[in-house]
Amino acid sequence: MNRSFLCIVSVLIFIGNSFAQKDKVINLPSKDKKKIHYGYYLGINKKGFKVSYELANSFVDVEEKYGFNIGLVLGYNISDNLNVRLEPGLSSNSKVLTFSNPTIPDTEKDRVRKVPATYFRIPLLLQFRTDRLDNMRAFVIGGVSYDYNFSSNQKNSDDNFEGEFRMKTNNFMYEVGLGVDFYLPHFKFSPSIRGIFAMNNELVRDNNPASPWTLPIDYYGTRGIFLNLTFE
């Protein structure tokens, strides 16, 4: 994830330098004077899990995959530098879990679990923006979200003994990030990078309390990086 973060920051710096070198024609000078504003976003994500353990002889390897984000923006300008935002949307991603436990049979069917996930996310965020410099302004953003996991399998009676890995349907996340607003002639373009962190344990334990898949695990929680491109 660190390599992805550095690449994205480098791209943002390059874009910023390109804008700074252009003639100082002020685009959309009254764009941020409206109290209520709308837009949409799309982007990519890379998600994994933070895993902590009850037993020391177990380990879960999490193979992170890339996914996509898409959604809407409803914003309210509290002041020129402070904005509150609601950003409902979909986030899709998949992970591959490989369990290392001496009591689990050494076969791919028993040790490997593919975990697809599509979340309906409702983030409520605060955005702190710098003063505008020509056609740019930087910002930091953070807040909380409710995430509904369509692929959770929480109500499925089958568990890991039948090859089904289950996650909780209702989850809560917090996110923090930074980005830049670029004022183009006809719209505002805002790339941002964000870290996403689960607040609750998303794991649904197997029906058998002694399950070698879930007994050793204390906590499963989503961790991820989002790159969003917002258009307003």
How many domains are there within the chain? 1
d(CA 62, CA 64): 6
Inter-residue contact 181 to 188 (CB < 8 Å):
yes
- What CATH code is carried by the domain that includes residue 34? 2.40.160.20
d(CA 153, CA 168): 8
Q: How much is the average pLDDT of 42-65?
A: 90
d(CA 72, CA 175): 17
d(CA 41, CA 57): 43
What is the pLDDT at residue 217?
92
Inter-residue contact 163 to 109 (CB < 8 Å):
yes
Specify the residue for token string 């380990």. 59
What's the whole-model pTM score? 0.83
Let me know the angle formed at the C-alpha of 67 by 17 and 114, rounded to the nearest 5 degrees: 150
Structure tokens at 184: 């183009």
Residue 2 pLDDT > 60, yes or no? no
Residue 127 pLDDT > 90, yes or no? yes
pLDDT in tens, 4-25: 555 555 555 555 555 555 557 8
pLDDT bucket at 58, cuts 50 / 70 / 90: confident
Inter-residue contact 146 to 175 (CB < 8 Å):
no
d(CA 193, CA 149): 22
d(CA 205, CA 211): 8
Q: How many CB atoms lie within 10 A of CB 85?
A: 19
- Cα torsion 213, 158, 155, 103 to 10°: value is -10
d(CA 91, CA 43): 9
pLDDT in tens, 142-168: 999 999 999 898 999 999 999 999 999
Phi, psi for residue 163 in degrees, rounded to 5: 85, 15
pLDDT bucket at 187, cuts 50 / 70 / 90: very high
What is the pLDDT at residue 65?
86
d(CA 196, CA 215): 26
Inter-residue contact 101 to 58 (CB < 8 Å):
yes
Question: Strand 136-149 vs strand 112-129: parallel, antiparallel, or unpaired?
Answer: antiparallel
Inter-residue contact 25 to 203 (CB < 8 Å):
no
Q: 136: domain range?
A: 2-231
